[in-house]
Structure 1
Amino acid sequence: MTPPDINSATFRHVLGHYATGVCVVTALEEDQTPIGMVVGSFTSVSLNPPLIAFFPDQKSTSWPRIEKAGKFCVNVLAGDQHLLCRQFATAGSEKFTGVAHRISNNGAPILDDALAWIDCSLDDVHEFGDHYMALGRVDSLGVGRSCSPLLFFQGGYGEFTLHS
């Protein structure tokens, strides 16, 4: 239960001060239809065995389809991919229109211009509040290109610049 002095607008505002990376989680349905959804809540969980997690909203229409596929790929978006992010964040079946991709050994789409990709088998799912935690066992992974990542911060998108 939420404490009475913490409303969802305040919670969102305060946590908006924490920049997050942006990923597109992809999968293929049995009929080979590609599925994709944007997530900003992605994290590594374990090195041995290699595990990752992301947190889909319970209202997501894409998540049940990805969960049913049982295998998925986390595609880390590059700083110049904010329009691609918006395309995948839009509801509907046209998410893959014009998006170059290849199919991983697990059978999930790897976006050609992604910064990095992590191909996984769904290991476990737990319900927490209004989201699920999807735990993935990493089967393969790689770096797509060398550039800055796409970040989400205070309601907008931007890039990261390294300072030395």
Structure 2
Amino acid sequence: MASSPPLAADPADVTAGFRGAMRRLASGVAIVVARGDDLPVGMAATSITSLTMDPPAVLLCINQSAGIHPCLSPGCPISVNILSRHQRDVSAAFGGAVPRDRRFEVGQWASDVHDLPALDDAQANLACTIDSMTPFGTHSIVVARVETVRLSDSVEPLIYQDGAYL
């Protein structure tokens, strides 16, 4: 059996190795939406996970340099839209391929209970309220309580790994 390369100890090597390790982790893709100053703002995200069932809550990790970050604070509503396999165009738009003021022109959107955009044919739509935010390094760890859920009939998630969709 071939031996593995040694573990990295140099900080630059650890950072590069960690980036490579995380690229190997497949993730579902979601669009997170919040209220902006005059229009809703949204971003594609893969760092979303369930946190608890009681109370229902999700955990999101949002880069502090992301355009949506200034719109996030405890008590603010957010919409989390878990994408279906056929929604690569929506993911690309909210990942930066489309200017921010035109992103909601991609896909079919309706309003959720907080009057935020919710993607009509997403795998699931979660209407949430931010409970807490904790800064860590370049990101904020956002805990949001889930208030309403809408599910699609089929289960065909959009999966992202190593810079590409599966």
Both structures adopt the same fold (TM-score exceeding 0.5) = yes
- Corresponding residue of 2:71: 65
- Corresponding residue of 1:161: none
Question: 20, 23, 27: which one pairs with 1:20?
Answer: 27
Query: Cα–Cα, structure 1 residues 45 and 148, in superposed 2: closer, same or farther, change >3 Å?
Result: same
1:85 pairs with 2:120: no
Question: Secondary structure of 1:99's match?
Answer: coil
Runs (5+) with no aligned partner, structure 2: 1-8
Measure the CA separation in 2 of the matches of 1:145 and 1:30: 34
Question: Secondary structure of 1:119's match?
Answer: strand
Aligned residues: 156
- Contact 2:51 2:59 survives alignment (8 Å): yes
Moved over 6 A (4+): none
Query: Cα–Cα, structure 1 residues 145 and 26, in superposed 2: closer, same or farther, change >3 Å?
Result: farther
Query: Cα–Cα, structure 1 residues 132 and 140, in superposed 2: closer, same or farther, change >3 Å?
Result: same
Measure the CA separation in 2 of the matches of 1:70 and 1:84: 24
Larger of the two Rg values belongs to structure: 2
Q: CA RMSD in A?
A: 2.0
What amino acid sits opposite 1:82 in the alignment?
Answer: R
Answer 1 or 2: which has greater helix percent: 2
- Corresponding residue of 2:121: 113
Question: Secondary structure of 1:89's match?
Answer: helix
Runs (5+) with no aligned partner, structure 1: 159-164
Q: Summarize deviations over 1:20-54 as a string: whole Å, max 9, x none.
A: 100000123364x1211111000111111111110
